[in-house]
Amino acid sequence: MPAVFVHMFEGRTVDQKRKLAKAITDAMIEHCNCKPDALHVAIQEYTLENWARAGVLGPDRKDL
């Protein structure tokens, strides 16, 4: 069971996530010889307040 996990900030539409899942599936079929029925794509979304980089939470960053 191949699986691809996508972690990103929230805010994308359902249509954007649908297209992303399709593109990932197509790439895995082409490049990894995966069978589409066996491939799982999981999208985990985070709010800025639940993600930190270099010890600084998203809402406190000046570069976002």
Residues taking part in catalysis? 2
Q: What is the largest CA-CA distance in the chain?
A: 43
28 contacts 63 by C-beta, under 8 angstroms: no
